[in-house]
Structure 1
């Protein structure tokens, strides 16, 4: 249940984020999301992880790099993409992230996946191409791919590098995430001030920000970490496929059309991720005191 709710909230980030982008700026939403989430996450880390804060702060260079990549870069690219593409398209492309991470791990970490994982990558790539082109492969030849899809591809690439670096960081998960969120709020503050990224000016914007700050930013991280005490990271990673499924369900409930290319592409992407995961070495469950990268190690929106 923890994993299901965590991914439902993350799916909500795509849908609510797309709605917010109609009147808000990506920088505005990103900055205030992390400002509102920073203090609660730091308190949660203090009482759950009980970290050695002096030891944590000694790792500030890598934490700052991770914050720039994962909290600032990825989120800004995601919300920018949602200005140009649908929440469903964004979630379907993002679903291929675990396969991209595996490729990066092969290149930079010398991982050696099993052959079935390469089959999974092939299926996932085919699904992403189908979603990007809307079933019209001729668009690949003319490179007439929507700006939103290109931005979401950039976003998952940034997240891939974030994950590769984060895998080498030995810090409690909630603590690592909380510090990165706090650093993002600090680093983005002068940029937000110069850009005039003030607080939301309408009730709709305020509710969107409140939802994103409470559910995807706080609730999902807490639920994800509670789940990791009871299952392996590999098994939890498979549940991330529910983000695209939940986004599709929400899209249908809101009365928005879903194309055959999106359905077929989504099936290929999710099947590819499952095959890719099957080719990974199994991992043991981690306790709350385990040293790990942020709970978003596989992919978090």
Structure 2
């Protein structure tokens, strides 16, 4: 297979993953009208786990999965407690309190949070581009969360914004720790979902959410588990393995929040707020500056 063909396939796989990710905010918005965050997470986690185990079975890696489950159960439990358990509980809480377009836009600042958290954890140094990107991104967050009324500093839903920002901290923390994870990526993800499942069931039982399910929300939760937590990961991994230019594939992620707003307006009935568009533009500009600076540094090496 020629390199051109491999790169073309990588872009197609990457676009597939991005298209799936762009629909998730809509699925969250619709499902959370009928299910609690815990119920949604329980269903999605179970579906994703079944999908990943089936995939590993097809690939003939079940023995390897069981082997890693035995020898790395502590790290699997630890990572699973962070993601999907804690991360998605916090993120879904934000989605239940904010318009989905606002929650997903704020959640995209996790890359900036990751840069700042990498300083104490990985002993990395910040560049001027990181500060510029942070200013642009968090100005965007402020603009979104105040619905454009920055001078008043009156947040549309302060608690919801706090949950959305906290989700970026948890996600960044997870990926920084993930750099030291020695498990194969697909097996590690599967084990995370497997060890998180009992935690979610216990929480659902403790809060009385194992009963009184509304069928209207189930299919959305199944969709999230299958596509957001399962298939999209496989497609994105495949894209990164095929491409000779990871930055080119990574830039596709900028399409996701823009497409997401379109799907929310068309299928979830959310009117597109001008404050979200302006704030999102600031966030994407900040992320672009950060990515551009990283590419420049890579090209100089």
Query: Which of structures 1 and 2 has the bigger CA Rg?
Result: 2
Query: Residues 6 and 221 of structure 1 are in contact (CA less than 8 Å); yes or no, is this contact kept in structure 2?
Result: yes
TM-score (norm 2): 0.84
The structure carrying a bigger helix percent of its residues is 2
CA contact (8 A) 1:44 1:174 kept: no
- Structure 1 counterpart of 2:53: 42
Using the size of structure 1 for normalisation, the TM-score is: 0.84
Cα 1:111–1:235, aligned 2, differ >3 Å: closer, same or farther?
farther
Gaps of 5+ in 1: 284-301
The question of whether the paired residues in 2 share the 8 Å contact of 1:32 and 1:199 is answered with: no
**For residue 33 of structure 2, what is the aligned residue in structure 1?**
22
**1:194 aligned to which of 203, 206, 212:** 206
Q: Distance in 1 between matches of 2:217 and 2:288?
A: 36
- Structure 2 residues not aligned, in runs of 5+: 1-11
Aligned: 1:212 with 2:224: yes
Query: Residue 45 and residue 117 in structure 1: after superposition, are their counterparts in 2 closer, same or farther (change >3 A)?
Result: farther
CA RMSD of aligned residues (A): 2.4
**SS of corresponding position for 1:224:** helix
**Aligned twin of 1:286:** none
Q: Which string of whole-angstrom CA distances, capped at 9 and with x for unpartnered residues, describes residues 23-77 of structure 1? A: 2111111112111221321332455484474245422222222211120111111
Matched, 1:93 2:99: no
State whether residues 147 and 156 of structure 2, in contact with CA within 8 Å, keep that contact through their aligned partners in structure 1: no
- Contact kept? 2:139, 2:282, Cα under 8 Å: yes
Alignment counterpart, residue 247 of structure 1, candidates 257, 260, 267: 260
Query: In 2, distance between residues paired with 1:259 and 1:26?
Result: 24
1:125 CA displacement: 1.7
Q: Distance in 2 between matches of 1:139 and 1:167?
A: 41
> 2:4 is matched with which residue?
none
